[in-house]
Amino acid sequence: MRKQRGKDRKKSAVSQHAASEAIQTISDDERYAMIAETAYLFAEQRGFRGDAALDDWLRAEAEISARLPGIG
């Protein structure tokens, strides 16, 4: 049982490292596209009413940055 916990910890560390490397491979263009899509979805949720495009963009940018630590 003790060996299994050690293996689980090692797998977890490897998974975290792999995820970190995957995040680092996101290009500026990919990040921009993710923000644009998220901003669009925010605008869609509010029915595209009003002049809140900048607010949608800033909210989307903050959300994507939070999901991709170390990027942006």
Q: Is residue 72 a part of any domain in this protein?
A: no
pTM: 0.63
Do residues 43 and 56 touch, judged by C-beta distance below 8 A? Answer: yes
The mean pLDDT of 28-39, rounded to a whole number, is 96
Considering only 4-8, 12-16, 47-51, which range has the smallest mean pLDDT? 12-16
- Residue 25 belongs to a domain: yes
pLDDT band at residue 25, thresholds of 50, 70 and 90?
A: confident
Q: How many domains does the chain have?
A: 1
Q: Which of 16, 13, 60, 58 is nearest to 34 (CA)?
A: 60
User: With DSSP H G I counted as helix, E B as strand and the rest as coil, what are the percentages for the chain, rounded to 5?
Assistant: 80, 0, 20
Give the relative orientation of helices 53-67 and 28-45 as an angle to the nearest 10 degrees.
130
Q: Domain range spanning residue 45?
A: 2-67
More confident residue, 72 or 25: 25
**Does residue 62 register a pLDDT over 80?**
yes
